[in-house]
Amino acid sequence: MKTVVYPGTFNPITNGHSDLVERASRLFDKIIVAVVDANLKTANSLPIESRLTLAREVLGHLDNVEVRSFDNLLTKFVEECGANIILRGLRTVADFEYEFQLVGMNRVLAPQIETVFLAPAEHLSYISSTLVREIASYGGDISNFVHPSVAKAIAENG
């Protein structure tokens, strides 16, 4: 059974994130969406409980997806899950440079863990959680970028 771990803050989970998980669900037996349990101090940040609930709601239609939180080193978490693959999304060249550094560090920490990259659909490649939060902080409409339950949660949290 091939299990992949897709880590991130998912603050908030966007249509780009869900697109990547849907693509991965066709490639892997099990996808663990690993929500980082970090104390986020940015505008419109959602608490960990909300990020977990929203990810479960948005991805609930996928039978082979599990949403969990973690607060330790990613390579340790991947091992604890019985996985040996990390899934990462790539939107831009800037993403690649950053992700390439992470791959190198993770290979030193846990050489048995591989990283796989997927790109979101072209019409979703410009979406980032940071930009969604920024638009929301100015009262902008984020409904094209996130699931309706996410837009509602951000409006209520804001």
Q: Which residues contact 137 (CB under 8 A, 6 or more apart)?
A: 43, 44, 158
91 is catalytic: yes
Residue of 50, 91, 125, 149 marked active site: 91
Residue of 17, 51, 88, 147 marked active site: 17
Residue of 88, 129, 133, 147 marked active site: 129
Query: Tokens for 44?
Result: 């419109």
Q: CA torsion sign, 49 to 86 to 76 to 74? A: negative
Q: Do 135 and 106 form a contact (C-beta atoms < 8 A)?
A: no
Q: Which residues contact 52 (CB under 8 A, 6 or more apart)?
A: 35, 67, 68, 69
41 is catalytic: yes
Under DSSP, the state recorded for 87 is E
30 is catalytic: no
Q: Do 88 and 24 form a contact (C-beta atoms < 8 A)?
A: no
Catalytically active residues are 17, 41, 91, 129
